[in-house]
Amino acid sequence: MSSSFPPEPHEEPTDYYAPPKTDIGSYHLPGDMGVVPVPFTIADVLARTWEIYKINMGPCIGVVFLAVGVNIGFRVLETGAMVALELARLPQETVIVAQWGLTFGLMILQFWLTVGQWVFMLKLAQGRVVSFGDVFSGGPYLLRTLGATICVGLMVIAILAVGAIPGGVAFLASNDRTIGFIGLGLGVVFTLVAWIIVGVRCSQFQYLIIDRDAGVMDSLRLSMQITRGRELPIIVLGLLGIAINIAGFLACLVGAVFTGPFVMLQAAVTYVALAGPPPGSKPPSHYLSDFDPLHDLPELRPL
């Protein structure tokens, strides 16, 4: 806990994208595509997130508002298109197909904008230069991110089949209600625990796709590697994020304007702590030679 930045003279100051940490040190995972986890604490992640956020609060909020604004604009267009379809007196089958097509297109648009926000927050968490255009840069990652999301969804369904369904069958088939409730309860507990484990272990796949250009299965595999043994701090950080967002909504919804972007940035900072800096990363020209990633964060530029 005694290490500090800048490094001592005998150390090479090469890690300018260092995630939050209190000890200098790292280890490599076999076949890890350059993933280099480092020791960190929950306090490190929160401190790093706040240092970045208080400097770049305006852009963080602006990016989220930009995505919301584009989404609202397309929703208005969708509503207008549906009204036009109704007024055109087209066959009902045609109207239904068109409505489903518009709804599906809007879902893809929302997902694309979400990926773009992940790109922005990840670059900010790594100390890289960002711009509002990053919101629209999620195209190259869209299909892989969608594929990995579907894979996680299938795992969740499989867990439900293995856990909840047998418990429900035991409850319905048992003549003894006590035994039935015990079977149902065990099934529910197993399902919830398994869901949490799968959710935590697969929680970093989207960042690995963006940051390391990983494929669908590689992103899930690497996510399971970098989260192994760190499930508890990830869960605690996730719960803190939920609590922060709830507090924002309780503050007459106004607080959510500030808490939503903060929680998104916190998730990206957590990934940087878990995966480490990009392989072969070098400091941009505007970084100081003794850049301290926790305290000397650069101003956001250009927009």
| 3 state SS of 224 | helix
Mean pLDDT, rounded, of the chain: 78
Lowest mean per-residue pLDDT among 36-40, 61-65, 138-142, 274-278: 36-40
Q: Could you give the CA distance from residue 116 to residue 141 in angstroms, rounded to a whole number?
A: 9
Check: CB of residue 77 under 8 Å from CB of residue 103: no
Q: Which helix (H) or strand (E) holds 78?
A: helix 57-87
Residue by residue, what is the 3-state secondary structure of 101-166?
HHHHHHHHHHHHHHHHHHHHHHHHHCCCCCCHHHHHCCHHHHHHHHHHHHHHHHHHHHHHHHHHHH
The two three-digit tokens of residue 213, written as one number: 């250009």
Summarize the confidence of residues 100-107 as an average pLDDT.
88
Residue of higher predicted confidence among 232 and 286: 232
pLDDT at 122: 94
pLDDT tens digits, 142-173: 999 999 999 999 998 888 877 777 766 766 77
Enumerate residues 6+ apart whose C-beta is below 8 A from 228: 201
What distance lies between CA 12 and its chain's CA centroid? 32
Burial of residue 87, with CB atoms counted within 10 A of its CB: 0-12 exposed, 13-18 middle, 19 or more buried: exposed
CA distance linking residue 242 with residue 259, whole number of Å: 10
pLDDT tier, 280 (very low <50, low <70, confident <90, very high otherwise): low
Indicate whether 245 pLDDT > 80: yes
Q: What is the rounded average pLDDT of the residues 130-151?
A: 94
Neighbours of 45 (CB within 10 A): 27
